[in-house]
Amino acid sequence: AQSVSQHNHHVILSEAASLELGCNYSYGGTVNLFWYVQYPGQHLQLLLKYFSGDPLVKGIKGFEAEFIKSKFSFNLRKPSVQWSDTAEYFCAVSGAGSYQLTFGKGTKLSVIP
Amino acid sequence: DAGVIQSPRHEVTEMGQEVTLRCKPISGHDYLFWYRQTMMRGLELLIYFNNNVPIDDSGMPEDRFSAKMPNASFSTLKIQPSEPRDSAVYFCASGRQEPYNEQFFGPGTRLTVL
């Protein structure tokens, strides 16, 4: 069975600090990888996704993620966070050709002005 | 596009009552998913449909839970009888076949069972 591990439960940063959220997955095959964001009181929105090709994926709002196959990782990064990035971030994985997403437990990011 | 629509947005009920949650997927999407989100367990997939047919319901916790999709534009998730441990946010999501293997989430229904 596939699983996703997000190492940090809660991250607190000051504005302009750099962000890296860890995500490791367990799956015995080709994967599709996703990062979703949930702003306070809102629904999940897709930040970025990786299917194939360039392992460095750029998403919306200045976020990017790097797929490192050898480490089974898909870490999310942003060079300079803003207060508006305060939200919960979810990493998710599906097997290639499968529509079932398995989510990590999420990382709550608090950005202090 | 209106996005995925869920109703009600909030539901408060008493233990033992029947609860019905509703979802309207994005037009043209042929996949529909029901998720449950709790603090303890995070986001869990309950069931998903393809072209109105249930494909995998292994995430449905108990026989008290049932889901239907009578047509391409409507789905329900029913809990009967409800219990306090069912309190959670229930999300519906829809999506299309590849290559865009992406799910679009609705705003969720916050269910509180007293």
- What is chain A's pLDDT, residue by residue, as a tens digit (113 residues)? 789 999 889 999 999 999 999 999 998 888 899 999 999 988 899 999 998 899 999 999 999 999 999 999 999 999 999 999 999 999 999 887 777 889 999 999 999 99
Q: What pLDDT is stored for residue B100 in this prediction?
A: 57
Length of chain A counted residue by residue: 113
Q: What pLDDT is stored for residue A100 in this prediction?
A: 83
A104 contacts on B by Cβ (under 8 Å): 42
Q: What pLDDT is stored for residue A107 in this prediction?
A: 96
Residue B102 pLDDT > 90: no
How far apart are the C-alpha atoms of A57 and A52, rounded to whole Å?
Answer: 10
| B43 close to A (CB below 8 A) | yes
Q: What pLDDT is stored for residue A67 in this prediction?
A: 95
More confident residue, B100 or B94: B94
Contact assignment for B50 to A34 by CB distance below 8 Å: no
More confident residue, B36 or B1: B36
| B11/chain A closest Cα distance in angstroms | 15
Confidence class of residue B79 from pLDDT cuts 50, 70 and 90? very high
Mean pLDDT of B76-91: 96
How far apart are the C-alpha atoms of A19 and A12, rounded to whole Å?
Answer: 10
How far apart are the C-alpha atoms of B9 and B3, rounded to whole Å?
Answer: 15
Contact assignment for B42 to A101 by CB distance below 8 Å: no
* B103's tokens: 């799910």
Contact assignment for A99 to B99 by CB distance below 8 Å: no
Select from B71, B70, B74, B79 the least CA-distant residue to B92.
Answer: B74
Q: What pLDDT is stored for residue B14 in this prediction?
A: 96
Residue B99 pLDDT > 70: no
How far apart are the C-alpha atoms of A111 and A108, rounded to whole Å?
Answer: 10
How far apart are the C-alpha atoms of B33 and B91, rounded to whole Å?
Answer: 8
Contact assignment for A43 to B108 by CB distance below 8 Å: yes
* B20's tokens: 């019905």
Q: How many helices (H) and strands (E) does chain B have?
A: 0, 11
Length of chain B counted residue by residue: 114
Contact B62, B54 (CB under 8 A): no
A94 contacts on B by Cβ (under 8 Å): 101
More confident residue, B46 or B96: B46
Contact A26, A3 (CB under 8 A): yes
More confident residue, B12 or A28: B12
DSSP for B30-53? -EEEEEEEETTTEEEEEEEEETTE
How far apart are the C-alpha atoms of B102 and B99, rounded to whole Å?
Answer: 9
Measured CA to CA in angstroms, residue A91 lies from A31, A45, A50, B61 at distances of: 13, 12, 11, 23
